[in-house]
Structure 1
Amino acid sequence: MSSFFKSITFLFLVIIIKHNPINAASITIRNNCPYTVWAAAVPGGGQRLGQNQVWTINPPAGTAGARVWGRTNCNFDGSGRGRCETGDCNGLLQCQSYGSPPNTLAEYALNQFNNLDFYDISLVDGFNVPMDFSPTSNGCTRGIRCTADIKGQCPNELRAPGGCNNPCTVFKTDNYCCNSGNCGPTVYSRFFKQRCPDAYSYPKDDATSTFTCKGGTNYRVVFCP
């Protein structure tokens, strides 16, 4: 093959890969709440979502340690700086870091062991917005949902403006935070687990809280499903 045709072929492949990222994911984020939610994503940034509004992010293949969450009662100026009552990420509309508890989390890692995606809903940082996190393609159908009235039923010692804190945030002790790796369920983690059985209730709650799909699956996150 001539060098000219090799160059054309290479450019063609680059265009295909650029516009069809191998095993990348599309995540559609919808707000069904009767109030505004400022969606946040790392990677991805942030977006104000009124009721029934949608925002789509496209994290690349291999993304790990990623999350989507909702922020509530936010005020931002024209430069995208301000503050949220829950889920705030250093006062920025376009999040570059994780949010402050309490915030319900949709966590994921793409194309990991055996080319599998791993995804979960976590209450390890507490709860602020009801959430559904579900695959939408690739024959993967196991969705996760946490819609209980956790804010209304929150134990007094965990109550926070706009949400319900996880005990690690409040008490900062090892039996709740699992910093040493030696921890188990507590009366507080059971409060979360009883109401949202598929969600992480404490940091070592892996067995019943992590789900997988084949790499290349698309997902949706719905606030107030």
Structure 2
Amino acid sequence: MASSATSSAVLLVVLVATLAAGGANAAIFTITNSCPFTVWPAATPVGGGVQLNPGETWTIDVPAGTSSGRVWGRTCCNFNGGSGSCATGDCAGALSCTLSGQKPLTLAEFTLGLGGSQDFYDLSVIDGFNVGMSFSCSSGETLTCRDSSCPDNTKLHHCNGNSNYQVVFCP
């Protein structure tokens, strides 16, 4: 009897957790290279990094509730078997970053809310500027930084939770 009651309690906890998680959706980040040169975008804590030739796009799913997320472009990279280096934005020589990049780097920064709560995002050149970038969410304004003076973009912006995002290099 105790075994059946325990199984029912576990099933109830799993069901409640599943229903609660249903309101918190992942955000889709679509990252596009519009530059006439290759960019190696990186994303932490989810995504890692890839090589994007001109015109290519990379899509990553970022879980709701992700805080302190970043996307940046790396330039002039040379990777051989997953390790190498970049002239800007390098993350300890890794193609798939788990650490933040080294200066200089233009940063798209975000914090995703849970379920329907607000997301926050900004563009930052506090760690220097290395490549032009625009950053937008589906329910907010587009932030664009084409050079090292991006004063309006360093302010924190918000959009609805469960929004999707666009990052464009060389907008």
Same fold (TM over 0.5): yes
Aligned to 1:76: 79
Report how many aligned residue pairs link the two structures: 163
In proportion to residue count, which structure has more strand?
A: 2
Q: Deviations over 1:94-114 (max 9, x none)?
A: 0001000000000000007x8
Query: Aligned letter for 1:24?
Result: A
Aligned to 2:44: 42
Which structure 1 segments of 5+ residues have no match?
A: 151-191, 201-208
Within-5 A mapping of 1:115-126: 115-126=117-128
Which of 170, 186, 199 is matched with 2:153 structurally? Answer: 199
Aligned to 2:3: none
Percentage of pairs with the same residue: 51
Which structure 2 segments of 5+ residues have no match?
A: 1-6
Paired with 1:21 and 1:37, the residues of 2 have a C-alpha distance of 35
* Misfit runs of 4+, over 4 Å: none
Within-5 A mapping of 1:11-26: 14=18, 22-26=24-28
Task: Tell me the CA shift for residue 22 of structure 1.
Answer: 1.8
Task: Tell me the CA shift for residue 21 of structure 1.
Answer: 7.2
CA gap of 1:61–1:92, structure 2 versus 1, over 3 A, is same
Q: Deviations over 1:4-48 (max 9, x none)?
A: 9xx7xx78x959x6xx77232111000000000001000210010
Aligned to 1:58: 61
Counterpart secondary structure, 1:51? coil
Q: Deviations over 1:59-98 (max 9, x none)?
A: 11110111000000001112x0000000000000000010
Aligned to 2:160: 214
Aligned to 1:95: 97
Scaled by the length of structure 2, the TM-score of the pair is 0.84
Task: Tell me the CA shift for residue 212 of structure 1.
Answer: 0.2
CA contact (8 A) 1:88 1:100 kept: yes
Q: Deviations over 1:199-224 (max 9, x none)?
A: 22xxxxxxxx1100111011100000
Scaled by the length of structure 1, the TM-score of the pair is 0.65
C-alpha RMSD of the superposition: 2.7
Task: Tell me the CA shift for residue 120 of structure 1.
Answer: 0.1
Task: Tell me the CA shift for residue 53 of structure 1.
Answer: 0.3
